[in-house]
A and B are shown apart, each in its own frame.
Chain A
Amino acid sequence: SAVISQKPSRDICQRGTSLTIQCQVDSQVTMMFWYRQQPGQSLTLIATANQGSEATYESGFVIDKFPISRPNLTFSTLTVSNMSPEDSSIYLCSVERLLDTEAFFGQGTRLTVV
């Protein structure tokens, strides 16, 4: 398994501001992903965080709104920029040690935008 520390666990933010979420893993992993879970919905992939290069975004998500960094094999950040109430969701970091192996999730960041 993997021990994943995701911070903050929750936050209430004003519209128009930005929040950066951190994901730290206890050992090197190949794959890191960021998901969004809107209220009452399932999880949707935002992007794959690539070590040392630009993230790969899914349809409907753009770098200007959700900039992602991954400076090394154990750490990544997701920023939610220029927030609106529609961004209120749970954001989750996920990791896989190797491609096509079991995925593990951080405890999530519950974001409320007012």
Chain B
Amino acid sequence: AQSVSQHNHHVILSEAASLELGCNYSYGGTVNLFWYVQYPGQHLQLLLKYFSGDPLVKGIKGFEAEFIKSKFSFNLRKPSVQWSDTAEYFCAVTNSGGYQKVTFGIGTKLQVIP
């Protein structure tokens, strides 16, 4: 069975600080990887995804994530956070074969202080 670990459950940053949220998954096969974001009062939205190809994936709002297969990792980064990035971030994985049963991590709450 696949699983996802998010190491930081609650992160507090000042505006303009750099962000890196860790995500590791356990699954031996080929995977699809996602980061979803939930802004306060809103629903889960797709931030970025990796299916194949360039392991450095760029998403919306200046976010990017790098798939490192050898480390089973898909960390999310942003060079300079804004107050509007305050949200909860979920890493998720599906196996490339078979149906898209998504396994989510526990989530990381990011609070950006103005």
Instruction: Answer yes or no: are A and B bound together in one complex.
Output: no
